[in-house]
Structure 1
Amino acid sequence: MAGGWSRDGAVQDQIDASIEDEVARARSRLVSGESATHCDECDAEIPEARRKALPGIRLCIRCQSALEESETGSGGINRRGSKDSQLR
């Protein structure tokens, strides 16, 4: 069911595009290869258990947490345009 000037299925296309964008973003952040023994930011030693669990890791837990915290923010483009998403 389309509303206004949109065609049938336009809302689902927007939802699919949003999901594809997020999957591509998540895949681009995956690391691989040999893990560093010391953090690239603070030079703290990275525990062996962390290096084995996350191949290609370059940051200690503290620096990784700080990086992830700084990356969280607005979700980008509001494609849905719902009232709930506009109130955030």
Structure 2
Amino acid sequence: MAGGWSRDGAVQEQIDASVEDAVAAARSQLPIGASLTHCEECGTAISEARRKAVAGVRRCIICQTELDKQKAGLSSYNRRGSKDSQLR
């Protein structure tokens, strides 16, 4: 079913493109190469178990957790209703 002047399937194509972009962005952030033995942020040793579990690991668990928290706060996706956000 098309809405307005759009052709059939246009909405689904837009959704698919958004999902593909999100997957590509997530894959681009995956570490590449050999794991480091020491954290690139604080210099503490990275355990062998972590290096084996996460290929290409570059940070210790503490530094990676902090980085993940910072990235979560910078999300540009509007999780609130578009109507509500437009009223502001």
Tell me which residue corresponds to 1:57. 57
Deviations 1:39-72 (A, max 9, x none): 1001111111001111210101111111112112
Q: Which has the higher contact order (CA 8 A, sep 6+)?
A: 1
Q: Secondary structure at the match of 1:34?
A: coil
Listed as ranges, the gaps of 5+ residues in structure 1 are 79-83
The CA distance in 2 between the partners of 1:8 and 1:66, in whole Å, is 44
Calculate the aligned-residue CA RMSD, in Å: 1.8
Matches within 5 A, 1:34-73: 34-72=34-72, 73=75
* Shift, 1:35, TM fit: 0.9
Tell me which residue corresponds to 1:27. 27
TM-score normalised by length of structure 1: 0.80
The CA distance in 2 between the partners of 1:36 and 1:52, in whole Å, is 11
Question: What is the identity percentage for the equivalent residue pairs of Structure 1 and Structure 2?
Answer: 59
* Shift, 1:74, TM fit: 2.4
Worse-matched range after superposition: 58-67 or 27-36: 27-36
TM-score normalised by length of structure 2: 0.80
The CA distance in 2 between the partners of 1:48 and 1:15, in whole Å, is 41
List structure 1 runs of 4+ shifted beyond 4 angstroms.
Answer: none
